[in-house]
C-alpha cells in the first residue's frame, strides 16, 4: 500500500514564534500609512521613500548580523531566475535613458526610487526563501496596514457627514493618507488578496476579513474610481473561476453558492442604486477624465514615435509633453494656457515606454509575464491547498493592477509598489523553493553584502533627503511668491535648487521663479540669465519661453523676443499672455495687420487687463487699414468718426466675434 504524500507547507519556519524580521516588517507596515509631512508639497511621496530607505538599512544590518553568526545562509542564487534578469534589464534601461535626459535631477530621482524598491524586493524574497518571513505573517502585516488606511478614510467620511455634506458627491476629499481618491481606491484594491486570505488564518480573522472586505467595497462605491471598480469585478470573476478550477480546494457547491450569490447581489444592488441616483455619482458617469487621458495618451504616442529606442529619459515625460501641442485641450483650457501641467500620462505603460524606450517597456512587461507563469506553475504543482488559493488571489490582483496602471499612475507611489513587490516576493520566493535544486548556488560574502547595503543606502538617503530639502524650500518659496516677497523667493530658490532637485511638482524649473522675482524687481539682465537657465532644462515650457521673450523685448532685442514668443505659440496657439505680448511687438514695430491678427486669436472672455487696453489701440490701426482701401468717401467719413469712439469700436468688435463674422466685413456692413 502506497503512503499518502505529505503536503508541502511553505509557511513552515524553525519556530512557531515570530522571527525578528516578521516583527520588523509588521512595524514597517503599521507605520507606513501614517508617514506624512506638511512641510513639503507632496506630503507622502518623499517621506515614504525616506522611510523605505531606512527600513532597507535596518533589514540589511539585521541580515548581516545573522549571516555573521551563521543563522542565515548567504545563498542568493534566486537572483539567477529569469524574473530578476528582467529586473536587471529594466533598471539598465533607466540608466541608458540618462543620455537623452534634459533634466538629469529627475532621472536620478526615478532611478533611486526604482532601485530602493528593487532592494526591498530582493531582501524580502531572500527572507521568504530563508524561512524568515512566513506568508501568514506578511498577510497580517498588510492587513494591519489596510486597517489604518481604512480608519483614516472612515474618519474623513464621518467629518464630511457631520458638516452636512453629501460625501458621495465630495468623494475627492476622501483620500486617507494616499494623495487622492483614485490612489486610495487602488491601494485598497492591492490589499484585497491579503485581506481575503486572512480568512484562513483563524476564527477571529474570518470576521475581520469579512468586515474589511465589506468596508472596502463600500469605499470603492463612494470613491467612484471606475478603473478600480472594473478591476475588482474582474478580480472577483477570476477568483471564483480559480475556486471552481482548483479541485484541490475541496470547496462544496453550497459554500461556493453562499460566496458567489451574496456578492453578485451586492454588486447588482450597488449598480442599480448608482444608476437610479446617478446625480449623486458624478465621478462614476462623467467622461471628462477619460477624454483628458486620451489627449495625454495622444501626446505620449507621438513622444514614443520620436524616441522609440531609448526614450526621452527617466523622469522627463513632463518636460517633453508640451512639445507635442497643448491646443488639443481646447480654447481657454487651463492646460492650453499653461495654468495646469501634467507630470505623467496617467498610463504607467505609456509612461515607461516614453521615458525608457522599447527596452524599458519590453523588460517591464516581461516581469508581469514571468510572474503569471510562476503563479500558474505554483498552482499546478503545489499540493498545499491554502497556498493554491493565495497564489490564485495574487494572480487575480496583478491582473487588476495592470488595468489600473493603464489609466492611473501607481508606478509613482511608494506604498503601491511596496504591496506589488510583496505579492511578487511571495510568489517568486515560494516558486524558487520548488526549483532550488535546479540552480547553482550564488554565495555573496558577508563583507560584500554589508558593503553593498551601505553604498546603496548612502546613495538613496542622499537623493531622498536632498529632494526633501528641495521640496521643503519650494513650499516656502511658493508662499513668498504668492505674497510677492521677491527677495524671499530668490533666497528659497537658492536653498531648494540642487543636483537632485531642480524642478517643482508643477514641472516648472526653480530658476524660473527666481527669474520672475528678478524681472519684477526690474533686474532684467539677471532675469534673462535665469530664464535662459530654465530654458536649458525645460525648453518646451510656454511660461519659460514667454518670460525669456519678454526679457529680450525689454532689452530691445525685438527679433529674439519674437522668436521665443512664436516658439511658445507653436506649442499652444491659445496661450493668451504670449498672444498679447506678440501683438504688442507687432504694434510697436508698426506691423499693424499682424498685431490685429494676433490679438484676434485671443479669447474675448480674457480677464487679462492688457487685453482690453491693447485691443482698443490695435482696433484703431485696423480701422486705418480699412480706410486705406475703402473708396466710398461716406464710409471713410463714418470710419474716421468710429476711430474716436473706442468704446463703440470695441463693442462692434465683440459683436463680430459673437456673430462669427470677420471684423472688417462686419464693420463695413454696419455702415450706411
Among 413-427, 431-445, 601-615, where is mean pLDDT lowest?
431-445
Average pLDDT over residues 278-302: 81
For 239-243, the CB contacts below 8 A with 24+ separation are 239/196, 239/392, 239/393, 239/396, 242/379, 242/389, 242/392, 242/395, 242/396, 243/389, 243/392
Residue 383 reports pLDDT greater than 90: no
Confidence at 13, pLDDT banded by 50, 70, 90: very low
**pLDDT value at position 199?**
85
**Which residues on neighbouring strands pair with residue 503, listed in sequence order?**
509
For 525-558, the pLDDT digits (tens) are 999 999 999 999 999 999 999 999 999 999 999 9
Domain boundaries, the chain: 20-460, 590-672
Q: Give the separation between CA 10 and CA 430, rounded to whole angstroms.
A: 7
Q: Which three cell numbers stand for residue 245?
A: 478550477
CA-angle at 269, arms to 263 and 270, nearest 5°:
90
User: What SS3 state is found at 501?
Assistant: strand
> How high does pLDDT run on average in the chain?
88
Average pLDDT over residues 113-119: 97
Neighbours of 645 (CB within 10 A): 11
Closest by CA position to 621, among listed 652, 586, 579: 586
Work out the burial of residue 559: count CB atoms within 10 Å of its CB; fewer than 13 is exposed, 13-18 middle, 19 or more buried.
exposed
Residue 11 reports pLDDT greater than 50: no
Confidence at 331, pLDDT banded by 50, 70, 90: low
For 570-573, the CB contacts below 8 A with 24+ separation are 571/322, 571/323, 571/325, 571/326, 571/540, 571/542, 571/545, 572/322, 572/325, 572/326, 572/327, 572/336, 572/337, 572/338, 572/542, 573/327, 573/601
Closest by CA position to 465, among listed 103, 44, 31, 50: 50
Average pLDDT over residues 353-378: 96
User: What SS3 state is found at 316?
Assistant: coil
| Torsional sign, CA 486, 490, 495, 498 | positive
Among 190-194, 291-295, 392-396, where is mean pLDDT lowest?
291-295
Confidence at 318, pLDDT banded by 50, 70, 90: very high
Closest by CA position to 177, among listed 168, 166, 188, 164: 188
453 CA to centre of own chain? 28
Q: Give the separation between CA 45 and CA 311, rounded to whole angstroms.
A: 24
Which of the two residues, 488 and 207, has the higher pLDDT score? 488
Q: At what angle are helices 226-245 and 385-405 packed, to 10 degrees?
A: 150
**pLDDT value at position 254?**
60
**pLDDT value at position 14?**
43
Q: Give the separation between CA 289 and CA 175, rounded to whole angstroms.
A: 18
For 184-232, the pLDDT digits (tens) are 999 999 999 999 999 888 788 888 998 999 999 989 988 888 899 999 9
Q: Give the separation between CA 438 and CA 191, rounded to whole angstroms.
A: 33
For 510-520, the pLDDT digits (tens) are 999 999 999 99
Closest by CA position to 519, among listed 477, 557, 489, 483: 489
Q: Give the separation between CA 488 and CA 478, rounded to whole angstroms.
A: 10
Are 561 and 549 in contact by the 8 Å Cβ rule? The answer is yes
Q: Which three cell numbers stand for residue 425?
A: 516576493
For 455-469, the pLDDT digits (tens) are 999 999 999 999 999
**pLDDT value at position 283?**
66
Q: Give the separation between CA 322 and CA 198, rounded to whole angstroms.
A: 47
What DSSP letter does each residue of 362-425 carry, written as one string? HHHHHHHHHHHHHHHHHHHH---HHHHHHHHHHHHHHHHHHHHHTTS-GGG-HHHHHHHHHHHH
Q: Can you tell me which residue has the cell 480699412?
A: 626
Q: Give the separation between CA 472 and CA 93, rounded to whole angstroms.
A: 31
Q: Give the separation between CA 510 and CA 515, rounded to whole angstroms.
A: 9
Q: Give the separation between CA 268 and CA 261, rounded to whole angstroms.
A: 10
Q: Which three cell numbers stand for residue 236?
A: 472577483
Alpha-carbon separation of residue 343 from 505, 509, 531, 570, 604 (angstroms) = 8, 13, 21, 21, 30
Consecutive H or E run containing 434:
helix 414-435
Spatial CB neighbours of 288, under 8 Å, sequence gap ≥ 6: none
**pLDDT value at position 120?**
98
Which of the two residues, 433 and 123, has the higher pLDDT score? 123
Q: Give the separation between CA 664 and CA 628, rounded to whole angstroms.
A: 12
Q: Give the separation between CA 484 and CA 22, rounded to whole angstroms.
A: 52
Neighbours of 275 (CB within 10 A): 11
Report percent pLDDT > 70 for the chain: 90
Spatial CB neighbours of 488, under 8 Å, sequence gap ≥ 6: 476, 477, 480
Neighbours of 608 (CB within 10 A): 14
Q: Can you tell me which residue has the cell 504688442?
A: 584
Amino acid at each position: 500500500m502506497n503512503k499518502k504524500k505529505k503536503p508541502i507547507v511553505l509557511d513552515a519556519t524553525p519556530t512557531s514564534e515570530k522571527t525578528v524580521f516578521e516583527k520588523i516588517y509588521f512595524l514597517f507596515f503599521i507605520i507606513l500609512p501614517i508617514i506624512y509631512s506638511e512641510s513639503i508639497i507632496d506630503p507622502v511621496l518623499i517621506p515614504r521613500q525616506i522611510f523605505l530607505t531606512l527600513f532597507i538599512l535596518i533589514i540589511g544590518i539585521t541580515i548581516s548580523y545573522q549571516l555573521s553568526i551563521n543563522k542565515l545562509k548567504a545563498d542568493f542564487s534566486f537572483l539567477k531566475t529569469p524574473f530578476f534578469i528582467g529586473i536587471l534589464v529594466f533598471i539598465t534601461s533607466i540608466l541608458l535613458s540618462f543620455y537623452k535626459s534634459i533634466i538629469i535631477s529627475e532621472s536620478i530621482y526615478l532611478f533611486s526610487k526604482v532601485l530602493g524598491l528593487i532592494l526591498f524586493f530582493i531582501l524580502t524574497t531572500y527572507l521568504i526563501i530563508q524561512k524568515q518571513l512566513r506568508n501568514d505573517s506578511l498577510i497580517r502585516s498588510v492587513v494591519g496596514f489596510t486597517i489604518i488606511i481604512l480608519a483614516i478614510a472612515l474618519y474623513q467620511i464621518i467629518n464630511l457627514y457631520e458638516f452636512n455634506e453629501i460625501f458621495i458627491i465630495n468623494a475627492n476629499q476622501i483620500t486617507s493618507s494616499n494623495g487622492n481618491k483614485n490612489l486610495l481606491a487602488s491601494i485598497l484594491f492591492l490589499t484585497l488578496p491579503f485581506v481575503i486570505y486572512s480568512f484562513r488564518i483563524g476564527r477571529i480573522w474570518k470576521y475581520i476579513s469579512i468586515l474589511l472586505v465589506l468596508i472596502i467595497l463600500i469605499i470603492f462605491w463612494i470613491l467612484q474610481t471606475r478603473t478600480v471598480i472594473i478591476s475588482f469585478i474582474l478580480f472577483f470573476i477570476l477568483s471564483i473561476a480559480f475556486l471552481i478550477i482548483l479541485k484541490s480546494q475541496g470547496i462544496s457547491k453550497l459554500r461556493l453558492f453562499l460566496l458567489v450569490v451574496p456578492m453578485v447581489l451586492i454588486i447588482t444592488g450597488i449598480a442599480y442604486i448608482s444608476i437610479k441616483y446617478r446625480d449623486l455619482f458624478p465621478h462614476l458617469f462623467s467622461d471628462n477624465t477619460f477624454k483628458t487621458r486620451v489627449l495625454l495618451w495622444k501626446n505620449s504616442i507621438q513622444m514614443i514615435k520620436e524616441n522609440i529606442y531609448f526614450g526621452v529619459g527617466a523622469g522627463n515625460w513632463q518636460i517633453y509633453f508640451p512639445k507635442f501641442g497643448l491646443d488639443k485641450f481646447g480654447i481657454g483650457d487651463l492646460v492650453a494656457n499653461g495654468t495646469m501641467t501634467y507630470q505623467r500620462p496617467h498610463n504607467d505603460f505609456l509612461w515607461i515606454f516614453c521615458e525608457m524606450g522599447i527596452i524599458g517597456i519590453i523588460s517591464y512587461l516581461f516581469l508581469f509575464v514571468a510572474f503569471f507563469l510562476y503563479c500558474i506553475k505554483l498552482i499546478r504543482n503545489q499540493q498545499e491547498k491554502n497556498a493554491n488559493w493565495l497564489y490564485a488571489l495574487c494572480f487575480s490582483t496583478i491582473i487588476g493592477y495592470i488595468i489600473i496602471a493603464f489609466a492611473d499612475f501607481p508606478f509613482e507611489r511608494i506604498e503601491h509598489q511596496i504591496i506589488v513587490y510583496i505579492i511578487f516576493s511571495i510568489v517568486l520566493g515560494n516558486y524558487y523553493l520548488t526549483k532550488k535544486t535546479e540552480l547553482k548556488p550564488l554565495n555573496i560574502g558577508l563583507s560584500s553584502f554589508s558593503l553593498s547595503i551601505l553604498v546603496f543606502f548612502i546613495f538613496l538617503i542622499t537623493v531622498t533627503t536632498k529632494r526633501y530639502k528641495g521640496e521643503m524650500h519650494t513650499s516656502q518659496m511658493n508662499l513668498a511668491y504668492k505674497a510677492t516677497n521677491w527677495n524671499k523667493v530668490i533666497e528659497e530658490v537658492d536653498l531648494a535648487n540642487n543636483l537632485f532637485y531642480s524642478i517643482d511638482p508643477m514641472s516648472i524649473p526653480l530658476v524660473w521663479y527666481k527669474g520672475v522675482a528678478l524681472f519684477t524687481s526690474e533686474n532684467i539682465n539677471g532675469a534673462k540669465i535665469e530664464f535662459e537657465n530654465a530654458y536649458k532644462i525645460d525648453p518646451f515650457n510656454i511660461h519659460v519661453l514667454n518670460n525669456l521673450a519678454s526679457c529680450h523685448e525689454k532689452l530691445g532685442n525685438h527679433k529674439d523676443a519674437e522668436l521665443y514668443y512664436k516658439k511658445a505659440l507653436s506649442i499652444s496657439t491659445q496661450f493668451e499672455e504670449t498672444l498679447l505680448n506678440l501683438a504688442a511687438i507687432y504694434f510697436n514695430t508698426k506691423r499693424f495687420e499682424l498685431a490685429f491678427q494676433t490679438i484676434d486669436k485671443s479669447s474675448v472672455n480674457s480677464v487679462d487687463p492688457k487685453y482690453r487696453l491693447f485691443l482698443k489701440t490695435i482696433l484703431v490701426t485696423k480701422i486705418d487699414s480699412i480706410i486705406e482701401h475703402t473708396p466710398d468717401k461716406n464710409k471713410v467719413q463714418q470710419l474716421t468718426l468710429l476711430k474716436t469712439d473706442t468704446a463703440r469700436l470695441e463693442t462692434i468688435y465683440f459683436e463680430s466675434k459673437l456673430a462669427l463674422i470677420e471684423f472688417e466685413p462686419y464693420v463695413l456692413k454696419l455702415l450706411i
